[in-house]
Chain A
Amino acid sequence: MEMTDQIEATAREIGDRVRPQIEDAKRRLTSLNDKAIDYIKENPGTCLVGAVALGFLIGKIARRV
C-alpha cells in the first residue's frame, strides 16, 4: 500500500516535471508549423521549384543506390 502510494507520487512528480516541457515543445512545433505554412503561402513558386529540385535530387540518388 505504501509502495503503491510512493510509485503514484513519483509518477505524479515526473508528470508535473515533464508536462511544461511537453507544452513548450508543442507550442514551439505549432509556431514552426505556422511559420512554414506562412512561408509556403508567401513564396509558392520558390517552394514548389525547390521541392521539385529536391525530389529530382532524391530520385537521382535513389537511382544510383
Chain B
Amino acid sequence: MQSQEKNPPNGRATESDGVHTIGQRVDRASDSAQEAWTQTRGAFSGLTDAIDIKGRVKRRPYGAVAAALGLGYVIGGGIFTPLTARIVRLGLRIGVRLAIVPLLKDQIAGLASVLADGESGAGRGTGKGHKAGK
C-alpha cells in the first residue's frame, strides 16, 4: 500500500483525488437528501397539522371514515355510475321528505286556516247582507 502511495502508477494520484471528491460528493448528496427529507417532512407535518386528521378522527370517527370511503369511491371512478345515480335519487327523496314535506304541511295548514277564517267571515258577511237585503 505504502509503495503504491509513494510511487503511484499513472493516474493513481488523480484517482485518490477522485475518491476524495466522490466522497465529498456523496457527503454533499447525503446532506442535500437529508435536507430535502427534512423539508418534505416539515411540509407534510404542516399539511397534516392544517388538515388535522387525527383531531377530526377523534371528534367524528364515523364521519372521517365515511369521508375516506367517499374519497376512495370517487378515486375508483364510481361517481358517474348508475349506483351513484340511485344513491343520489334516494338521498334526494329522503331530503325532500325530511325538509320540504313539513314545510308544505305548514304552508297548507296556514292556507287552510286562512281560507276557513275567510269563509266564516264571508259567511257572516253574506248573512248580514241577506239580513240587510231583507
Measuring CB to CB, which residues of chain A are less than 8 angstroms from any residue of chain B?
Answer: 36-37, 40-41, 44, 47-49, 51-63, 65
CA–CA, A44 to B54, complex, Å? Answer: 7
Query: Is B83 located at the chain interface by the 8 A CB criterion?
Result: yes
A52 and B68: CB pair below 8 A? yes
Within 8 A of A (CB), among B61-88: 61-62, 64-66, 68-79, 81-84
If over half of A's interface residues share one DSSP class (helix, strand or loop), that class is named, otherwise mixed; here it is helix
A selection of 24 A-B contacts at a CB cut-off of 8 Å is: A40-B62, A44-B54, A44-B58, A47-B57, A52-B68, A52-B69, A52-B71, A52-B75, A53-B72, A54-B72, A56-B73, A58-B76, A59-B74, A59-B75, A59-B76, A60-B77, A60-B78, A62-B73, A62-B82, A62-B83, A62-B84, A63-B77, A65-B81, A65-B83
Q: How many A-B residue pairs have CB under 8 A?
A: 88
The smallest C-beta distance from A28 to any residue of chain B, in angstroms, reads 18
Query: Is B13 located at the chain interface by the 8 A CB criterion?
Result: no
Q: For B26, what are the chain A residues with a Cβ–Cβ distance below 8 Å?
A: none
